[in-house]
Amino acid sequence: MVKHHLPDEFLMAYSAGSLPEAFDLVVASHVSLSDDSRARLEAYDAVGGALLDATDAVEVGDDSLAATLALIDASRGPIVRRKKAEPAGVFPRPLRDYVGGDADTVRWRNLGRGVRQAILKTSGTATARLLYIPTGMAMPDHGHGGTEMTLVLQGAFQDDDERFGRGDIEVANEEVQHTPVATGPEDCICLVAADSRLRFASILPRLAQPFLRI
Residue of minimal Cβ distance to Zn ion: 172
Site string for Zn ion, 11-50 (x = CB under 5 A): ----------------------------------------
Instruction: Give the binding range for Zn ion (CB under 5 A) out of 8-16, 64-72, 129-137, 143-151.
Output: 143-151
d(CA 164, CA 167): 8
Contact between 44 and 12 (Cβ < 8 Å): yes
- Across 22-167, where does the E strand assignment appear? 109-112, 115-120, 127-133, 147-154, 157-159, 162-164
Choice from 33, 120, 130, 172 touching Zn ion (CB under 5 A): 172
Quote the least distance from Cβ 178 to Zn ion, whole Å. Answer: 6
Residue 191 touching Zn ion (CB under 5 A): no
The torsion region of residue 213 among left (phi > 0), alpha (psi -120 to 50) and beta comes to left
Residue placing its CB nearer to Zn ion in the complex, 46 or 194: 194
For 189, the enclosing helix (H) or strand (E) is strand 188-195
By the criterion CB under 5 A, which residues form the site for Zn ion? 148, 172
